[in-house]
Structure 1
Amino acid sequence: MILLQTANISKYFGAKQILKDVNLTIQSGEKAGLVGVNGAGKSTLLKIITGQLTPDTGGVFVANGLTVGYLSQDTGLESRRTIYEEMLSVFQQLIDQEEQLRKLEEMMGMDEVKADEARYRRIMNQYAQLSDTFRDQGGYRYRSLIRGVLQGLDFPELDDHSPVSLLSGGQKTRLALAKNLLIKPDLLILDEPTNYLDIRSLSWLEQHLQSYPGAVLVVSHDRYFLDKVVSKIIELEFGAATTYKTNYSGFIDLKAQQQETLLKQYEQQQEEIARARDFVQRNIVRASTTKRAQSRLKALEKMEPLEAPAVTQKKVHFSFAIKRPSGKEVLQAAGLQIGYPGVQLAGNITFLIERGESVALLGPNGIGKSTLLKTLIGQLDPLGGTIRKGSNVSIGYYAQQQEKLNPDKTVLDELWDDYRLMDEKDVRTVLGNFLFRGDEVYKKVRDLSGGEKARLSLAKLMLEKANLLILDEPTNHLDILSREVLESSLMDYSGTILFVSHDRYFLNKMATRVMELTPSGIRNYPGDYDYYLEKQSGQQTEIQETKEPPKPQPGKQNYLESKEQQRLERKRQKRIEELERLVSQTEEAIRRLEEELEKPEVAQDYAACLKLSEELNQRKSDLDLYLEEWVTLTEE
C-alpha cells in the first residue's frame, strides 16, 4: 500500500532551484534512506512532505488517515513536564482506560452493587470489555516500553524525573526521538537522528527501527546506520531524485555501474556522430556518394542525442602535512584525573601514544571524552596526575562544537587572520578547496551551516601542519562525500592521530588502536574497531594500559600486522615524496637568498643583510632536518 507519494515537486529559494520535479514513493512498512551532499535539498524536501513548506510546483499525496511522526534536525522537545511525564503523555488514552478500570473495580467491591445482581453483571461485562481493549492496545506494556526506549536512548532511570527544561540541546533531540518512537506513527520521518547518539544507543536504534512496524524515511550521513536499517535509497542530486532498491553499500555499487554504463553509451554515440559527420562532409559533394551522404545525414538528424552524464558533485579537496616529525613518544598520561572543580568524571587515566598511531577514544556519552581531549591540549586543568608531550610535538585540535571559530568574522577573515603572511589569492584557493567560492567567503561565521563550519575548521587545521591531530567528532555535520575525503586525507597523514567519533565507518577505517574511557581508567584494545567489537561481544577481559596487552589470535594478529604495515608504508612513501619536494623548494630558496646577499645594494644595507642572513641560516637548518629525515626514511 502506498503511504506517501510526491509528484513533480519543485522548489526555488530566490533564483536558485533547490528541487526539480522530485518524485518518490513510500510503501507501508518500507525503510528508505534519503541521501545527498549538504545543500542538496534533503531537509527542504522533508519540510515540504510534512507541510512546513509549500512547493512551487507539484504536490504531496498521502493515504487516508496516515499518521506521520517527524524529527527535524537539531530540534529538541520543549516541555514543562519531567522526562517520564512527557513520555506518559503519549499513552493518555491508556491511562484514562486504566483509571476507568480502577473505578469499575471499586464499584464491583461495593456492597450495594453486589446486592444488585443485574447491576453487578452489567459492571462486570463493562469491565471485561474495557479490560480486553486495554490489553489489546498495550495497556499492560506501555510503562515497560517507556523504560526500554528511554534506556535505549541513554536516559538512565535516575534521570527519568528530571525536568525536560533542564536538558541540553542534544538530550532534548534524543527525547523528541524517544517520543516519536513511542507514538509509533504509520510513517516516521527522521532528519539526522544519529547526531547525538553514542555507539551503544546507535546500535539500539538500529535494532528498534529494523523491527519497527511502520514505514521509515530517514536522512543520515551514518553509512553503517543506513546499511543496517534501510532497504531503499533515494538520492537527491542536482535537484532531482533517483531511487535505488538497496541499502547504502549497494547504492554506491549500483550508482558506479550506472555512471560507467551511461558514460560508455554517451561516448559510443559521440564517436558514432563524429564518424557520420565526417562521412557526410567527405561525400556530400561527390555525385557518386551524395545519396549515401544524404541518407546518413537524415539518420543523424533523427538520432536521439544522449545527455552527457552529470558531472560529479563538488567535493572538498585537501591533505594534511606536517612541518617536522615528532619524537617516537608523542603523548603520555599517568594517573590523570579529569573533570571540573568538585566533579571528577574519570580517574587513573594512564596511556602512551607513539608516533604514527591512529588511536580512537571511545566511551558512552557523558563519560568525559571531550573533557579528556580538552585537558590534553591544556584548555582544562587536570584534577590530578601528569601529562607529558614528546619532543617536537605540535598539536592541532578540532573542536566538536567549532567553538574556536569567531562568529563575528567573515569566512575569509577567520582564516586569513590566523595566516597573515599568506596572499589573499592563496587563502581563497584554500577556501575554494573547502567549497567556499566567490562571495561565499564574505559570509559571517554565525550564518554558516553546521557542515560549512566543519569545513572551515578543517581548513584552519590543515594549515597548522601539526604532527599530532586531536579530533573531537570530526565527521559531524559533514556529508558522506566529505567524510570519505577526510578519511583518505587522514590515511595519508604522516603524523599521529587521537580522535573521538561515533561514525563507525570512520572508526573502522582509521583506528589502529582503541582506548575505551571508563570512570576508573583506560581499557586498551590493540587493534581496529572490528577487533574492539569482537572483544566486546565475547567474554571481555579488561586490559589496563599499565599491563601487557594480550596477543590476538594468530589469524587476527597477521591481519592487524599486515594492515598496520600497509598503512605505515603508505605514510612513509607519502612523507618521502613530501620531503623531496621540501628539499627542492628549500634549496631553491637558499640559492635565491645567496644571490640577494651578493647584490651590492644589499651588502651596503646592514639591516637587510642581517635579515637575509638569519633567513638563510634558518633555511639551511631546515634543509639539514629534511635531509636527515629523508635518509632515515629511505634506509627503512
Structure 2
Amino acid sequence: MIILQAQQVARFFGAETLFDKVNLEVQDHARIGLVGVNGAGKSTLLRIIAGIDPADQGQVIKNKGVNIGYLAQNSGLDSQRTIFAEMLTVFSELQQIAQQLKEMEQQLIAEPTNQTLLANYDELLNTYKAKNGYTYETEIKTVLNGFQFPETTYEMQISELSGGERSRLALAKILLQKPELLILDEPTNHLDIETLNWLETYLQGYPGAILVVSHDQYFLDHVAKEIYALTQHQLKHYRGNYTDYLHRADEEQEHAEKEYEQQQSEIKKLETFVEKNITRKSTTKRAQSRQKQLDKMDRLEKPKSGEQSAHFQFEITAETGKEVLLVHDLAIGYEDHVMSSPINFDVRKQQKVAIIGPNGIGKSTLVKTLLEEIPPLRGTFKFGANVAIGYYDQNQSQLDSSKTVLDTIWDEHPLLPEQQIRNVLGSFLFRGDDVKKVVHQLSGGEKARLLLTKLAMEKRNVLLMDEPTNHLDIQSKEVLEAALENFAGTLIFVSHDRYFINSLADTIIDIDGQGSHIYHGNYDFYLEKRQELATPEQATKETVISDNQAAFKADKEQQKEVRRLERNVASLENTMAELEEKNQAVQLEMTQPENLNDFQKLAELQAQLENIQVQQQTAENDWLAASEKLENFS
C-alpha cells in the first residue's frame, strides 16, 4: 500500500533549479535510500516530503493518519531531563493507562462485584497489553544500550552530554516513537562501527517505512531495498541496494552512450548520402527521402557522464624500507588515564592498515601518539628507514582559516607557477573563483578536499589518516578510495566507514580497553572471524587471525583488481571522448573564415591537432590493453 507520494515536486533558488519534476513513492514497510552529491538537494527534498518546507511546484500527498518522524542531519536532543526520563516521554500514554489501572484496582478492592468496573478494567488491561505496556521499559533499555548508553548513564542530565551523544539520543527517541514513516538525514554520523552494526539490524526489523539519506555505502547496502538517485536536477528510481544501483546506473549510462553513438553514426551516413546525391538527377528522390528521415528523426542528446567529481592521485618521491612501523606494548591515554593497553602491531611496506574501535577508545589518541604530539604512557614505537609521514587530521586543524584556498597550497609550494597550483586545485574541484574563497567560508566537504590537496602535494610515502571520509559525499569517497588503492606507499588509517575499510584494508587493528586485536584481511574477513570468536573464552588479549586468510585475501585481491581495471577502463573511455571533442573543435576552428588565410594560425592548429591525435592513439592503445586484461579477469 502506498502511504506517501511526491508528485512533480520542484525547488528553485531564484533562476537556479535545485531539482524539478521529482516523483517519489513510499510503500508501507519500504526501505528507501536517497543518494546524490553534496549540494544536490537531498536534505531539502526530505524536508519537503516531511512537510516541514513547502515545494515551489508539485505536491506531497500522504495517507490519512500516517505519522511521519523526521530527524535532521546532526540534530541533537535538547532537554533538561535525564536520559531515561526523556525516553519515557515517548510512552506517556502507556504510563497514564498504567496509572488508571492502578486506580481501578483500588476501586475493585472496595467494589469487587462491580461488573461495569470489572469490564472496563479488562478492556483497559487488554489495551495496555496490546500496546506492549509490560515491555516498553525493556525496549527503552535495548535501544539505549544499542546506542552505547548503559544503565549507569540513565540518570545523567541530557544538557550535560556532548553534541554527538545528544545526536545519538535524538535518533534513539525517534526509533522508540515508531512512526509509520521514518525519515532520517545522515543518521550514521557520530556512530562507531559497533553502533552502526546494531542500528542496521534494528532498522531491518523496523515495522514502518524508512526513507534515509546516507553517505555510508555499507549502511545503504544492508538497509535499503530501493534507491532514489538525485542527479542533474532529476530523481531516478532503482530497485535493490546501493551496489545494485551502481551496476544499473553504469549499465544505463553505457546503453545511453551506445544508442547516442549509433544514432550519430546513422545521422552521418544519411547526411553524407544527401550531400552527395541531392544534386544528381538520378538520385535526387532517394536523397530527398533520406532528408525526410533526418527531419523526422527524434535526435538523442549526448548523455552526460554524471556529476563532476574530483580526480587525483597520491605519489611518492622515495621508497621506505621493508619495515615501516613497529609498536610494542604501547599504552595510550592522558596522564593517569590509560585508554587502551597493550597495543602491539607492525606495519610493512605498502600495507594498508585500518584502525577501528568504539568511540572514545583512543583511536585518534593512538594517531597523535605516533605523531609524537602526546607521549605514550608505556611501551615503545619506532618508524623504519626513509619514512616520510603525511598526516590527514579529521578536525581539519591543519588549515589556516584566514587564508584563501589558493594561498593555502601556494604558500607551501611558492616556487610553482600559479597556473600549476590552479590546475592541481581544479582536480580537487576548486575551479575559477573557488580558489579565492577563504578557508572559514568553506563547507566541511570543501575543507576535506583542500586537506587532501595538501596531502597529495606533499608526496609522502606513508599516509597516516584520521577519519578521511568524514564530510565527503559518496562520489568523493569513491575517488579517494581509488587514489589510495593505487598509492604506492604505505597507508595507516582510522575509520568507521565500513565500505571504505572493506575496499582498502589488508589488515585490521581492532582497539579496545584490553589493547589490540589483529585481523589479516578486510572488513568482511574481520566480521567473519569476530563471529567465530563470539564467546568470551575464545577471545585473547592479542588476537592474530590467519587461518584460511590466503584464499580469502586472494579472492578479495582479485575483486579489488577487477574494480581497479573497471575504473581504469571507464577513465580511459572518458579521456577518449574528451580528446575526440578537442579533435573536432580544432578541426572546426581550422575551417573558420578568419583562419583559412592565416597560415601561421593554421600551422598552430595543425600542431595542436597532431598532438591530440597522438594522445588519442595512446589512450586507445591503453584502453585496448586494459579492456583485454579486464576481460581475462572476468
TM-score (normalised: structure 2):
0.84
Which of residues 424, 429, 441 in structure 2 aligns to 1:430? 424
Where 2:247 maps in the other structure, the secondary structure is helix
Q: Which residue of 2 aligns with 1:22?
A: 22
The letter for the 2-side match of 1:152 is G
Q: Please give the alpha-carbon distance, in whole angstroms, between the structure 1 residues aligned to 2:465 and 2:22.
A: 38
Q: What is the deviation of 1:537?
A: 0.5
Where 1:257 maps in the other structure, the secondary structure is helix
Q: What is the deviation of 1:392?
A: 2.0
Q: Which residue of 1 aligns with 2:606?
A: none
- Residue 337 of structure 1 contacts residue 349 of structure 1 at CA under 8 Å; is this kept in 2? yes
Q: What is the deviation of 1:143?
A: 0.6
The letter for the 1-side match of 2:104 is L
The count of corresponding residues between Structure 1 and Structure 2 is 560
Q: What is the deviation of 1:237?
A: 0.7
2:525 equivalent to 1:552 = no
Please show how residues 392-411 of structure 1 align to structure 2 within 5 Å: 392-411=386-405
Q: Which residue of 2 aligns with 1:48?
A: 48
Q: Please give the alpha-carbon distance, in whole angstroms, between the structure 2 residues aligned to 1:380 and 1:11.
A: 49
Where 2:463 maps in the other structure, the secondary structure is strand
Q: Please give the alpha-carbon distance, in whole angstroms, between the structure 2 residues aligned to 1:58 and 1:369.
A: 48
C-alpha root-mean-square deviation of aligned residues, in Å? Answer: 2.2
Return closer, same or farther for 1:290/1:413 CA change in 2, 3 Å cut-off.
same
Where 1:109 maps in the other structure, the secondary structure is helix
Q: What is the deviation of 1:435?
A: 0.8
Please show how residues 41-80 of structure 1 align to structure 2 within 5 Å: 41-80=41-80
Return closer, same or farther for 1:226/1:184 CA change in 2, 3 Å cut-off.
same
Q: What is the deviation of 1:551?
A: 4.0
The letter for the 2-side match of 1:358 is K
Consecutive unaligned residues of structure 2, counting only runs of 5 or more, are 565-634
Where 1:385 maps in the other structure, the secondary structure is strand
Q: Please give the alpha-carbon distance, in whole angstroms, between the structure 2 residues aligned to 1:400 and 1:93.
A: 44
2:244 equivalent to 1:244 = no
Q: What is the deviation of 1:11?
A: 1.7
- Residue 524 of structure 1 contacts residue 543 of structure 1 at CA under 8 Å; is this kept in 2? no
Q: What is the deviation of 1:433?
A: 0.8
Where 1:330 maps in the other structure, the secondary structure is strand
- Residue 523 of structure 1 contacts residue 542 of structure 1 at CA under 8 Å; is this kept in 2? no
2:380 equivalent to 1:386 = yes
Q: Which residue of 1 aligns with 2:350?
A: 356
Where 2:104 maps in the other structure, the secondary structure is helix
* 1:247-273 CA-partner distances (Å, limit 9, x unpaired): 111111111111111111111111111
Return closer, same or farther for 1:14/1:331 CA change in 2, 3 Å cut-off.
farther
Q: What is the deviation of 1:544?
A: 5.3
Q: Which residue of 2 aligns with 1:597?
A: none
Q: What is the deviation of 1:559?
A: 4.0
Moved more, 229-238 or 318-327: 318-327
Return closer, same or farther for 1:550/1:455 CA change in 2, 3 Å cut-off.
closer
* 1:51-100 CA-partner distances (Å, limit 9, x unpaired): 33333222222222221111111121111111111111111111111111
Q: What is the deviation of 1:326?
A: 2.0
Please show how residues 421-460 of structure 1 align to structure 2 within 5 Å: 421-460=415-454
Where 2:253 maps in the other structure, the secondary structure is helix
Which of residues 495, 508, 515 in structure 1 aligns to 2:509? 515
2:361 equivalent to 1:367 = yes
Where 1:347 maps in the other structure, the secondary structure is strand
2:247 equivalent to 1:253 = yes
Q: Which residue of 2 aligns with 1:376?
A: 370
Q: Which residue of 2 aligns with 1:104?
A: 104
Q: Which residue of 1 aligns with 2:586?
A: none
Where 1:278 maps in the other structure, the secondary structure is helix
The letter for the 2-side match of 1:361 is I
- Residue 33 of structure 1 contacts residue 226 of structure 1 at CA under 8 Å; is this kept in 2? yes
Q: Which residue of 2 aligns with 1:13?
A: 13
Q: Please give the alpha-carbon distance, in whole angstroms, between the structure 1 residues aligned to 2:330 and 2:324.
A: 16
TM-score (normalised: structure 1):
0.84
Q: Please give the alpha-carbon distance, in whole angstroms, between the structure 1 residues aligned to 2:84 and 2:559.
A: 51
- Residue 87 of structure 1 contacts residue 179 of structure 1 at CA under 8 Å; is this kept in 2? yes
- Residue 525 of structure 1 contacts residue 543 of structure 1 at CA under 8 Å; is this kept in 2? no
Q: What is the deviation of 1:415?
A: 2.5
Return closer, same or farther for 1:80/1:12 CA change in 2, 3 Å cut-off.
same
Q: Please give the alpha-carbon distance, in whole angstroms, between the structure 2 residues aligned to 1:313 and 1:566.
A: 26
Q: What is the deviation of 1:562?
A: 7.4
The letter for the 2-side match of 1:24 is L
Which of residues 306, 310, 331 in structure 1 aligns to 2:325? 331
Q: Which residue of 1 aligns with 2:299?
A: 305
The letter for the 2-side match of 1:463 is M
The letter for the 2-side match of 1:511 is A
Return closer, same or farther for 1:299/1:133 CA change in 2, 3 Å cut-off.
same
Q: Please give the alpha-carbon distance, in whole angstroms, between the structure 2 residues aligned to 1:469 and 1:459.
A: 13
- Residue 224 of structure 1 contacts residue 504 of structure 1 at CA under 8 Å; is this kept in 2? yes
Q: Please give the alpha-carbon distance, in whole angstroms, between the structure 1 residues aligned to 2:317 and 2:201.
A: 46
* 1:95-141 CA-partner distances (Å, limit 9, x unpaired): 1111111222223334xx35xx33xx333222211111111111111
The letter for the 2-side match of 1:355 is K
Return closer, same or farther for 1:565/1:55 CA change in 2, 3 Å cut-off.
closer
Q: Please give the alpha-carbon distance, in whole angstroms, between the structure 1 residues aligned to 2:457 and 2:41.
A: 31
Moved more, 329-338 or 39-48: 329-338
Where 2:449 maps in the other structure, the secondary structure is helix
Q: What is the deviation of 1:561?
A: 5.8
Q: What is the deviation of 1:447?
A: 2.7
Return closer, same or farther for 1:563/1:191 CA change in 2, 3 Å cut-off.
closer
Q: What is the deviation of 1:477?
A: 2.1
2:183 equivalent to 1:189 = yes
Q: Please give the alpha-carbon distance, in whole angstroms, between the structure 2 residues aligned to 1:79 and 1:488.
A: 43
Please show how residues 422-571 of structure 1 align to structure 2 within 5 Å: 422-539=416-533, 541-542=538-539, 549=544, 551-553=546-548, 556-560=549-553
Q: What is the deviation of 1:291?
A: 1.9
The letter for the 1-side match of 2:136 is Y
The letter for the 1-side match of 2:145 is Q
Return closer, same or farther for 1:565/1:65 CA change in 2, 3 Å cut-off.
closer
Which of residues 182, 201, 210 in structure 2 aligns to 1:216? 210
Q: Which residue of 2 aligns with 1:607?
A: none
Consecutive unaligned residues of structure 1, counting only runs of 5 or more, are 572-636
Where 2:221 maps in the other structure, the secondary structure is helix
The letter for the 2-side match of 1:224 is Y
Q: What is the deviation of 1:543?
A: 5.5
The letter for the 1-side match of 2:553 is L
- Residue 529 of structure 2 contacts residue 545 of structure 2 at CA under 8 Å; is this kept in 1? no
- Residue 512 of structure 1 contacts residue 564 of structure 1 at CA under 8 Å; is this kept in 2? no
The letter for the 2-side match of 1:35 is V
Which of residues 221, 231, 243 in structure 1 aligns to 2:225? 231
Return closer, same or farther for 1:392/1:14 CA change in 2, 3 Å cut-off.
farther
